[in-house]
Amino acid sequence: MEHTVNQIAVCGSLRELPVFSHENHGKRFYRFTLEIPRLSGAVDILPVIAPEVIVHRIDPSGGEYLTVTGQIRSHNSRTNGIRHLLIFIFATDIVAQDAEPMNDVTVTGFICKEPIFRRTPLGREICDVMLAIPRAFHRADYLPCILWGRTAQEIARCQVRDQICVHGRLQSRIYTKLTEEGPQERTAYEISALSAELLENEG
């Protein structure tokens, strides 16, 4: 089986105190969001899910910011019969410290939909890719990625089931969706690639 990678490390400020999210197999989990500024001045607001034992280990005296390491996970949710893909950071470690903002992602997965190549009105080249990243118990995380410029051109030539490695950041993006109740503001999460490469499948 091909080797897969799913790693994220972020450092940002806590938007609100962690609150109880859910219980699974006798373990309790908490959720919160981090604010992580970009160099452009925009701010990514990223959801985090963490086991209770990790949340209780946080020492607030360590610093003003939280450094979270873990994986990017996805979960299919249904609301009123409509399916939503929820993206979040699953924390394996959290440390309070004074540090610079950070948003570093490396994932290796399989392209599970035909890449979509397009150009912006200003001519910038973009490629949208959906990656499937296998994990234990025959599950997989489905993570949308966006690639730019020459990297977009190269990955646009890939096929479904090709394996690629993407390095970049997890970003949030607010958009407006037209619904029967009228326009609604929603947030999408995607990996914005700094680099990507096609990996050779082991045959």
Residue 146 has pLDDT above 50, yes or no: yes
What pLDDT is recorded for position 52? 97
Quick one: what percent of the chain has pLDDT higher than 90? 76
Boundary (domain end) residue, out of 35, 67, 101: 101
* 96 and 156, same domain (yes or no): no
| pLDDT confidence tier of residue 200, bands split at 50, 70 and 90 | confident
Residue 136 has pLDDT above 90, yes or no: no
* 26 and 87, same domain (yes or no): yes
| pLDDT confidence tier of residue 161, bands split at 50, 70 and 90 | very high
* 86 and 153, same domain (yes or no): no
Tokens 């806590």 correspond to: 14
* 50 and 125, same domain (yes or no): no
Residue 108's nearest CA partner among 132, 138, 86 is 132
| pLDDT confidence tier of residue 81, bands split at 50, 70 and 90 | low
* 68 and 123, same domain (yes or no): no
8 Å CB contact between 39 and 182: no
* 125 and 95, same domain (yes or no): no
Residue 135 has pLDDT above 60, yes or no: yes
Average pLDDT, the chain: 92
Rounded to whole angstroms, how far apart are CA atoms 201 and 203? Answer: 6
**Domain interval for residue 186:** 106-199
8 Å CB contact between 158 and 180: no
Boundary (domain end) residue, out of 101, 136, 155: 101
* 38 and 70, same domain (yes or no): yes
Rounded to whole angstroms, how far apart are CA atoms 51 and 30? Answer: 6
Number of structural domains the chain divides into: 2
3-class secondary-structure state, position 153: helix
Residue 192 has pLDDT above 80, yes or no: yes
CATH number at residue 169: 2.40.50.140
* 193 and 133, same domain (yes or no): yes
What pLDDT is recorded for position 202? 55
* 25 and 56, same domain (yes or no): yes
* 73 and 97, same domain (yes or no): yes
Residue 44's nearest CA partner among 168, 193, 170, 194 is 170
Rounded to whole angstroms, how far apart are CA atoms 98 and 101? Answer: 10
Q: What is the mean pLDDT of residues 169-188?
A: 87
Residue 2 has pLDDT above 70, yes or no: no
* 111 and 195, same domain (yes or no): yes
pLDDT digits (tens, 9 = 90+) for 39-77: 888 999 999 999 999 999 999 889 999 999 999 999 987
| pLDDT confidence tier of residue 1, bands split at 50, 70 and 90 | very low
Quick one: what percent of the chain has pLDDT higher than 70? 95
What pLDDT is recorded for position 175? 87
Rounded to whole angstroms, how far apart are CA atoms 191 and 17? Answer: 25
* 77 and 21, same domain (yes or no): yes
Boundary (domain end) residue, out of 43, 67, 101: 101
Backbone dihedral region for residue 36 (phi beyond 0: left; psi -120 to 50: alpha; all else: beta): beta
What pLDDT is recorded for position 77? 78
Q: What is the DSSP letter of 49?
A: E
Beta strands in the chain (DSSP E): 5-14, 19-24, 27-37, 43-51, 65-79, 82-97, 102-111, 116-119, 125-135, 139-148, 163-179, 182-199
